[in-house]
Structure 1
Amino acid sequence: MSRFGLRISNARITGQLDLSACRIDFPIHFEDCEFVEPVLLEGSVVHSLAIVGTSSPDGDALRSSVPGILANGMRVERDLVLSRTLITGAHQTTSSLSRTAAVWLTEAEIAGRLIAVDTTIDTTADRAIQADRCQVTGDIRLIQGFRAKGEIRLIGAQLGGSLDLAGCELVPRNGRAIDLADATVGGSLFITDSPRHRPVIRGRLEMGRTSVNGRVLIRKARLEAPEPGVGRHLYNAKDPAQRLALLAQGATIRGELTMSEGTSMVGGATFAGATIDGGLLIDGISIENGFDVALDLTHAHIGTTVSAVQADIQGSVDLDGAEVAGPLDVRRAALSRPAHRYCLTAVTAVIHGDVRLVDATIGDSYPAATTGASGGLSFRGAEIRGMFDAERAQILSPGDASINLHQAQLAGNIRLCSGFRSVGVVMLNRAQVEGRLHCDDGSFEWRRREDGDPRPTRLNERESAFEAISSTVRGGIGLGWNIEGAVDFSDAHTSYLADRPERDWPSRRSYLTGFTYERYAETSMHGSGEWGWKTRTRWLRHCDPADSGDPGDPGPWEQAARTLKRHGDSEGSEEVLMAYLRTKRQRRAGWARFGVVRGWDRVVNDWFRGYGYRPLRALIPLVLLVVAVAAPLLPADSNRVMRAADPSGIVYTPQGELSQLESGRTPQNACGKGKVRCFNPWLYAVDTVVPIVDLKQRSTWAPSTDAGGGWMLAWVNAATLIGWAISSLLVVGLARAGSRALN
Structure 2
Amino acid sequence: METNDLTPAERRVWDAFPRGEGVDFREEPGDSSVDGADWGPGRTVRAEVLRALLLGAGPAEEGQVAGLKVKGARITGALDLRYAVVDHPIRLRDCFFERKPLLYGAQLKALVLGYSTLPGLTAATVRVEVVLRLSCCRITGPVRLQGARIAGGLFLQGAVIEPAPGDEAGEAALQLNHAEIGTDIIANDLTVHGQFRLNGAIVGGQVQLDDARLLHPGAIALHAETLTVGTDLRAARLHARGMVNLTGSRIPGQAMFTRSDLANPGGTALRASSCSIGELWLRRCPPIGGGVNLRRASLDMLHIEPQTWPERIAVDGLTYRTLAPHLAAEERLPALEREESGYLPYAYEQLAAAYRTAGDEAAARTVQLAKLRRHRHTLPRYARLWGLLQDVTVGYGFRPLRAALWLLALLVSGSLAYALHHPRELKQGEAPDFNPVFYTIDLMLPIIGFGQEEAFAPSGWYQWLSYLLVVTGWVLATTTAAGVSRSLRRQ
1:731 has 2:470 as partner: no
Deviations 1:626-655 (A, max 9, x none): 44544443345x412x41xxxxxxxx1xxx
- Tell me what 1:568 maps to: 359
- Tell me what 1:308 maps to: 134
Higher strand share: 1
* Structure 2 Cα separation of the partners of residues 561 and 201 of structure 1: 68
Q: Of 372, 378, 399, which aligns to 1:614? A: 399
- Tell me what 1:403 maps to: 222
Which structure carries more relative contact order (alpha carbon 8 Å, separation 6+)?
2
Q: Of 327, 347, 360, which aligns to 2:153? A: 327
* Structure 2 Cα separation of the partners of residues 204 and 392 of structure 1: 39
1:479 has 2:311 as partner: no
- Tell me what 1:256 maps to: 89
Q: What is the DSSP-based 3-state SS (H/G/I as helix, E as strand, rest coil) of the residue aligned with 1:435?
A: strand
Evaluate the alpha carbon distance shift between residue 546 and residue 421 of structure 1 in structure 2; reply closer, same or farther with a 3 A threshold: closer
Deviations 1:129-153 (A, max 9, x none): xxxxxxxxxxxxx56378xxxxxxx
CA offset at residue 696 of structure 1? 3.9
CA offset at residue 681 of structure 1? 3.3
Residue type of the alignment partner of 1:564: Y
Residue type of the alignment partner of 1:317: V
Deviations 1:221-240 (A, max 9, x none): 43445xxxxxxxxxxxxxxx
1:344 has 2:174 as partner: yes
**Identity percentage over the alignment?**
22
Q: Could you tell me whether the CA contact under 8 Å between 1:690 and 1:723 is conserved in 2?
A: yes
1:545 has 2:371 as partner: no
- Tell me what 2:244 maps to: 426
- Tell me what 1:716 maps to: 466
* Structure 2 Cα separation of the partners of residues 145 and 470 of structure 1: 56
CA offset at residue 253 of structure 1? 1.4
- Tell me what 1:356 maps to: 186
* Structure 1 Cα separation of the partners of residues 46 and 301 of structure 2: 56
Residue type of the alignment partner of 2:273: I
Q: Of 177, 186, 207, which aligns to 1:388? A: 207
Q: What is the DSSP-based 3-state SS (H/G/I as helix, E as strand, rest coil) of the residue aligned with 2:125?
A: coil
CA offset at residue 403 of structure 1? 1.4
Task: Return the TM-score normalized by structure 2.
Answer: 0.81
Deviations 1:657-715 (A, max 9, x none): 2xxxxxxxxxxxx43xxxx55543332322222233233444x33538xxxx3765555
* Structure 2 Cα separation of the partners of residues 400 and 436 of structure 1: 25
Q: What is the DSSP-based 3-state SS (H/G/I as helix, E as strand, rest coil) of the residue aligned with 2:302?
A: strand
Evaluate the alpha carbon distance shift between residue 331 and residue 194 of structure 1 in structure 2; reply closer, same or farther with a 3 A threshold: closer
- Tell me what 1:692 maps to: 447
* Structure 2 Cα separation of the partners of residues 471 and 188 of structure 1: 50
What is the aligned residue count?
462
- Tell me what 2:62 maps to: none
* Structure 1 Cα separation of the partners of residues 213 and 420 of structure 2: 83
Evaluate the alpha carbon distance shift between residue 259 and residue 731 of structure 1 in structure 2; reply closer, same or farther with a 3 A threshold: same
CA offset at residue 542 of structure 1? 4.8
Q: Could you tell me whether the CA contact under 8 Å between 1:297 and 1:322 is conserved in 2?
A: yes
- Tell me what 1:578 maps to: 369
Q: Could you tell me whether the CA contact under 8 Å between 1:259 and 1:283 is conserved in 2?
A: yes
Q: Could you tell me whether the CA contact under 8 Å between 2:188 and 2:208 is conserved in 1?
A: yes
- Tell me what 1:440 maps to: 258
1:116 has 2:3 as partner: yes
Residue type of the alignment partner of 1:394: R
CA offset at residue 509 of structure 1? 2.2
Q: What is the DSSP-based 3-state SS (H/G/I as helix, E as strand, rest coil) of the residue aligned with 1:252?
A: coil
1:633 has 2:451 as partner: no
Q: Of 409, 412, 417, which aligns to 1:624? A: 409
**1:502-513 → structure 2 map (5 Å cutoff):** 503-506=307-310, 508-513=311-316
CA offset at residue 495 of structure 1? 2.8
Residue type of the alignment partner of 1:391: D
Q: Could you tell me whether the CA contact under 8 Å between 2:218 and 2:267 is conserved in 1?
A: no
* Structure 2 Cα separation of the partners of residues 145 and 629 of structure 1: 109
* Structure 1 Cα separation of the partners of residues 473 and 315 of structure 2: 41
Deviations 1:202-227 (A, max 9, x none): 889989x96899545565443445xx
Q: What is the DSSP-based 3-state SS (H/G/I as helix, E as strand, rest coil) of the residue aligned with 1:579?
A: helix
- Tell me what 1:122 maps to: none
Q: Could you tell me whether the CA contact under 8 Å between 2:222 and 2:243 is conserved in 1?
A: yes
Note the residue ranges of structure 1 that are not aligned, 5 or more in a row.
1-113, 120-141, 147-163, 169-185, 226-244, 289-293, 364-374, 448-461, 522-528, 592-597, 644-651, 658-669
Q: Could you tell me whether the CA contact under 8 Å between 1:165 and 1:190 is conserved in 2?
A: no
Q: Could you tell me whether the CA contact under 8 Å between 2:25 and 2:71 is conserved in 1?
A: no
* Structure 2 Cα separation of the partners of residues 330 and 266 of structure 1: 21
- Tell me what 1:6 maps to: none
- Tell me what 1:412 maps to: 231
Q: Could you tell me whether the CA contact under 8 Å between 2:313 and 2:339 is conserved in 1?
A: no
Deviations 1:396-448 (A, max 9, x none): 11122221221111122222224x3111111112211122122223222215x
* Structure 2 Cα separation of the partners of residues 683 and 710 of structure 1: 20
CA offset at residue 570 of structure 1? 0.9
Q: What is the DSSP-based 3-state SS (H/G/I as helix, E as strand, rest coil) of the residue aligned with 1:474?
A: strand
* Structure 2 Cα separation of the partners of residues 145 and 717 of structure 1: 110
Q: What is the DSSP-based 3-state SS (H/G/I as helix, E as strand, rest coil) of the residue aligned with 1:494?
A: strand
1:318 has 2:122 as partner: no
* Structure 1 Cα separation of the partners of residues 300 and 56 of structure 2: 49
Q: What is the DSSP-based 3-state SS (H/G/I as helix, E as strand, rest coil) of the residue aligned with 1:495?
A: strand
Deviations 1:221-262 (A, max 9, x none): 43445xxxxxxxxxxxxxxxxxxx23323211123222222x
Q: Of 260, 270, 274, which aligns to 1:470? A: 274
Q: Of 243, 252, 270, which aligns to 2:102? A: 270
Note the residue ranges of structure 2 that are not aligned, 5 or more in a row.
27-40, 58-64
Residue type of the alignment partner of 1:438: M
Q: What is the DSSP-based 3-state SS (H/G/I as helix, E as strand, rest coil) of the residue aligned with 2:320?
A: coil
* Structure 2 Cα separation of the partners of residues 192 and 621 of structure 1: 91
* Structure 2 Cα separation of the partners of residues 300 and 202 of structure 1: 19
* Structure 1 Cα separation of the partners of residues 42 and 411 of structure 2: 107
* Structure 1 Cα separation of the partners of residues 392 and 138 of structure 2: 67
Kindly report the root-mean-square deviation, in angstroms, between the aligned alpha carbons of the 2 structures. 3.8
